[in-house]
Chains A and B, each alone.
Chain A
Amino acid sequence: MKIIIVGAGEVGYNIASRLASENKRVVVIDKDIDAIQRLSENLDVQVIMASGSSPKVLIDAGINETDILLAVTDSDETNLVTCLMANMISPTTKKLARIRNQDFDSYYDRFKKENPHIDTIINPEIEVVNTIRKLMVVPGAVDVGDFADGQVKYIGLRIDRHSPMAGMKLIDFSSKFGEDRPLIAAIIRNNEVIVPRGSNKIEPGDLIYFVSETEKLEKMLMLFGKKIIPIQRALIIGGGRIGERLANLLEADSIKTKIIEADIARCHYLSEKMEKTIILHGDGSDQKLFLEENVGQSDVVVCVTNVDETNILVSLLAKNLGIENTITRISKSNYFPLLATIGIEKVVSPRLSAVSSILKEVRKGKVLSDISILGERGEFIEAIALETSDITDRPLRKISFPKGAILVCILRDGHIMIPAGNSVVKPNDRIIMFAVKHAVKKLEKLLTVKLDFF
């Protein structure tokens, strides 16, 4: 199994690191000497310092015997040309490209069917923007994501003192809520991930992850004492690609949106593109601007500049002005453990999201999705139960689940089923599991689903 990665930025680095640790032969191509050096010092991969879109470089890198090409540079054009050249030289190589410019959105299908036959196009920004949009409306929600093409959602939620759940044991859920009881996948308390058993109690201040059918989500949130809040005014700090996409989305939902962007040229660009969104030129951390623009009146503040520190600072500033609902973009995963302690809860990470969607596409077989939460400390795994695996055709109580892993729910014929001791997983059911990091390997073994590749 040989993989070429063009582009050694954050995304390229992280994928290379994951794949290398799984003993794949990885070649990374990048023009930037610093990026290449960081890679060759830390990872067991081959590096080439050159332009990945050059056919000569691709041949030298061994494109002809390569199974997968990942084009993940920062430039859409480079990624497209790289795939185009790869397609000419070695049509059998699977190609995956990161394309971010919105103008390409409607051409994804044609990129697939026509030249350069890109098998998968990854645009983490679309995903992140959708996540932000969902996070906006659920107060206290820390994380939101989809399974089964959006039929099922997982939500991370902070439990406060007023929640009817606070103080309850999980075992009491069925008597209190009946059939529609929430499916708790994980409890995070004092930065520790607990995979819940019946005897576990929910306490105020806990962060819980639960799973729900999308249709029943609103009802489920009511159980937690949360309501979907309508957003009327939004403030976006940072008018980069994510900010732009989000503003477009909000504009379409006729939400009054303002963008604060520090780069004047970018401001002009945005102002040319946007219809109703108000573009403000200034630093996101400029308090005077905040007062001038009555930021305290906003329903939500979304900080999506390229700088983590600015995002964190502005979020805190907004909270200081009385806006509880802030969403913060974070790229560095080592910040994650700190954030909860300073009160920043709603966090999105396009990098993580890119890495996990690329890995999902790269992984072969029956694992449908593999979503890291809380900066990779736990993983949701959505898989198809194989006939050959130990998990099928036996009541669950007879299966020894690894410690730190839990079967969250079973999806059969589009319906969500709550697993109990005597439930049986049938072949071809979709199952959603949660595991803390160290339990993932054991879980894979149980499923006999190797996290294999094309």
Chain B
Amino acid sequence: MTDPADIELNHRGIARIGRYQHLSIDGVEPNALLTLYRQMLRLRRTEEALIREYHPSDEMRCPIHFCIGQEAVPAALSTLVRPDDYLFSHHRSSGYFFAKHAPMREFFAEIYGRKTGANGGRAGSQDISHTASRFYSGAILTGAVSIAVGVAFGLQHQGLDSIAIAGFGEGATDEGAFWEAMNYVGLKKLPILFLCENNRYATYSDQLKRQASDNICERVLPFGVRSKRIFGNDVVLCQRTIAETMDYVRKGKGAALVEAYTYRWNGHVGPENDDVNEYRSEEEIQFWKNNCPISLLEERLLEAGYLDVRLKAVLESEIAEEITAHFQFAKESPFPSETDWRAMNWEENSPLADRLLATVSRSDFDERQTDAKLEPY
């Protein structure tokens, strides 16, 4: 067994470790561990259920980017994020929707295109948001990172103690906008936590085909962004690292980034396997399945006696019941019928302007005036 410090933390290094042996539950309350376990299991079972239902009934007529294999970061985050924090997610949104404790039945109804969905069926999985929960996402994902920076600006400006959190994949860091964000958060010491789930591939494209180095955490340091990289399938480590980093951000010390190396089991989008593109090896997929974030924790919980077959069955049945109820809610909900396109796109009410601004009669304009004379600048 290698020392955790000996693991070279990048995708090549991690692939050499075999089965990860370092998940430690020492000093963590059993209930806290079971919460993490339950969150991951709930997310996994939800995704599996959605995959089962996706075809052939085709009632979910929207692209879904499943996050099976990437449960650890959102599960860890779910135990740390506050209701008044703002969370921005990439298009692989279900884990973060869970993490922000937004109502899951509205997630189901949204992807079924129903009126009761989080966004009335206008957004779908890759663009879903839940304003009351301060949860937002989007498929053009670096834009979400940039907007999260603006939230952090607004929070700092008003002296509020909540923070902005931006979850994204390593693909987002190809964009110039990402580095504009690093420059600015470093400059202003903005209260923002960046969670980079490095799953190696932007759709099919390997990070090392796109970037000269695969350690984003090192490249943000010169901007004044504190960073840490971790094995992203160790949920206890994820929780501890995110907690420490979040504490730094909450104390107003500046922006920070956690780079968690993880892996998606499914294809980029939809339930189908996209390995026909031959972008990753069967060996690599098997390595990551062998290091499933749920089974890594489950093994320790069983050893410690915090979990047994009976308790697992209870959890499974609670989760299954919940999922059944969400499906039922979604399928029984009406489709949206509103076609007032103007009201959907433009807010017509302006209460603040109504309160602050007078209405005046119009002045005349003297047309004998000449154009402004421009100067060299």
A, B: real partners: no
